[in-house]
Amino acid sequence: MLKKAGVLVMVFALLFGSNLMAGDQGKTYESRDQIPEKYKWDLTPLFASQAEWAKEKEAVEALIPEFKNYQGKLATSAQTLQQCLDFMTDVLKRYYKLSAYASRLSDQDTRESGPMAMRQEISQVGNKLSAAMSFIEPEILSIPQDVIDKFFKENPKLAVYRQYIDNIQRMKPHTLSPQEEKIIAHAGLMSDTPYDIYGIFKNADMPRPEITLPDGKTVKLDDATYTLYRADDNRDLRIMVFEQFFGAYKQFERTFGTDLYSQLKKDLFYKTVRKYDSCLEAALTPNNIPTSVYMNLIESVNENLPTLHRYLKLRKKMLGVDELHYYDMYAPLVPKVDLTYSVDEAEDLILEALEPLGDEYEDVLKKAFNERWIDMFPNTGKRSGAYSSGAAYDVHPYILMNFMGKYEDVSTLAHELGHTMHSYFSNKNQHFINAQYPIFLAEVASTCNEALLVSHVLKKIDDPKKRLSILGNQLETFRTTLFRQTQFAEFELKIHELVEKGEALTGDKLSKIYLDILKKYYGHDAVTKIEDLYGIEWAYIPHFYYNFYVFQYATSLCASTALSEKIMKEGKPMADKYVKEFLSAGSSDYAIPILQKVGVDMTTKLPYEQAFAKMNRIMDEIEKLLEETEK
């Protein structure tokens, strides 16, 4: 089935330690009625009322049975194929608009049963729609290539569907007979079981230790409190947190190991039945990403581990410790600094920072701020976090924020606006069928905005501590996104390769593999002390159930680093190309060629080398600042 995302792309922002604003900027409103209208999104461009939504839902639901008029007939003529795809496009556009309205309405107050029911209703419509459309891609797949070519010549109206059809047709070598595909589809009922078990056990059933904080308060050490206290400036507390947290996971090493091994066997099953050479190829081919991109990333990062080690030595110096340990990785490099902003200040700062992207980009940003595309403040019951959704093709994207006046909120807003602008320009310039950008590119525009914002902020700040805070957190972004995600990717590749060779993997063996990679990355012998206990960290990472997904965090950061530097260096010509050939491309081509058109070739090592070079420049500046403050 066509996967038209407008998927909620969650926050992937820089994490800057900063104090909350006093007053309204640091508060959660008890009621949405207390929030000024201009800071709440306006959903009327989607639907004027819930009654109008309900009427449209009934109309869309009534259209679903009409798909059967095309079933079994797509290969008969170019006109029939075109008419079916036109009908599919119309129904899907309307369905996504319905879904967008229900989701936005529900997210603004998750306690409300009415919007929740609307989401459930539209989800049921989606299930019916998926079932009704399920014949389309298999039928297109069964049409011989020479017939497809003839159809394109006969009917110029089909041209807009060329990329969509090609994306289906190229999977033919890995598609089986209808009867075999039916069996595989039924097997899919079991495919989520390893992750479901992992989620339930980790989030609900796994016993968690309790720890006593220095102030005497006792807290349960679950994943959320671990994330909070691993960044505490009290080293003794961090040591206790790491030992207790990972000690709890270690107790269930066998259980986690059995579950992850079942995930690997599932991946092996699909690799085998679909006739791929490796699990990696099976995971990357649907998005048309060469396996060489994955391998180049791992190779480049390994070649540049001295850059990570340079940062770790700098971290050791800034923390003032005799020996750097793994439990020191999230400690703040400098004391918290006062970087706080009102919404108006944040918007002005973002407009200034993104000015290099051109007048049209700036005009759309102003529309987002002034025409209520953004739900800005937290209120009781509102969904947490932040996202951008461009699912409603004929309406502008929407952004959910929970702005609290910190610098990280400004960065998050710039990030989500990157997604929004990507959706806006793709929707504006592409047919619906080609409007959703590939997942491989999902974080490029957003992190490019972050890079432009940081560059601009640093030009405005002279205070050494504030500069150190921002620069230090930039380094942390490179550590946690480029190095850490690649570390995960290398582990994921290694364990899949072992299973492909017929080796069984137990929990203790997985811990040994992970520990060896962890020690290599962090320079166990000379840079960072890695205790053996931390080999169990793999059990904490849910992404190992996502089938070779995490590497895209690292590639996106490298691509956006290259793009932001090209924009700042080359000015308007590059900015115009970025907007017209990247942001406006949607899925009119595959991800790698889209990036190549704007001068970023992810099949080479150059984007990675540019990211490492930037990281070293940041460290040069930090070392200079430290020298100046020590004088």
Burial of 549 (0-12, 13-18, 19+ CB in 10 A): middle
Which residue in the block uniquely carries the two structure tokens 């849910």? 542
Compute the Cα dihedral for 605, 610, 612, 613 and give only its sign.
positive
Closest alpha carbon to 440 in 9, 1, 2: 9
Instruction: Give the Cα separation of 589 and 434 in Å (integer).
Output: 8
DSSP letter string, 169-211? HTTGGG---HHHHHHHHHHHHHHTHHHHHHHHIIIIIS---EE
Which residues is 452 bridged to in the sheet?
Answer: none
Q: Coil, strand, or helix at residue 529?
A: strand
Contact 254, 507 (CB under 8 A): yes
Strand 528-529 and strand 324-325: the pairing is parallel
Q: Coil, strand, or helix at residue 49?
A: coil
Contact 393, 10 (CB under 8 A): no
Is 154 a catalytic site residue? no
Choosing from 139, 253, 408, 416, which is the catalytic residue? 416
Instruction: Give the Cα separation of 305 and 520 in Å (integer).
Output: 9
- List CB contacts of 446: < 8 A, sequence separation 6 or more: 9, 12, 388, 415, 416, 418, 419, 422, 560
Sheet with 374-375: list strands edge to edge. Answer: 9-10, 387-389, 398-400, 374-375
Instruction: Give the Cα separation of 458 and 418 in Å (integer).
Output: 20
- List CB contacts of 456: < 8 A, sequence separation 6 or more: 349, 352, 353
DSSP letter string, 571-595? -HHHHHHIIIIIITTTTSS-HHHHH
Strand 398-400 and strand 374-375: the pairing is parallel
Instruction: Give the Cα separation of 258 and 194 in Å (integer).
Output: 9
Which residue in the block uniquely carries the two structure tokens 């012998």? 525
Instruction: Give the Cα separation of 233 and 266 in Å (integer).
Output: 42
Contact 481, 443 (CB under 8 A): no
Instruction: Give the Cα separation of 168 and 149 in Å (integer).
Output: 14
Active site residues per annotation: 416
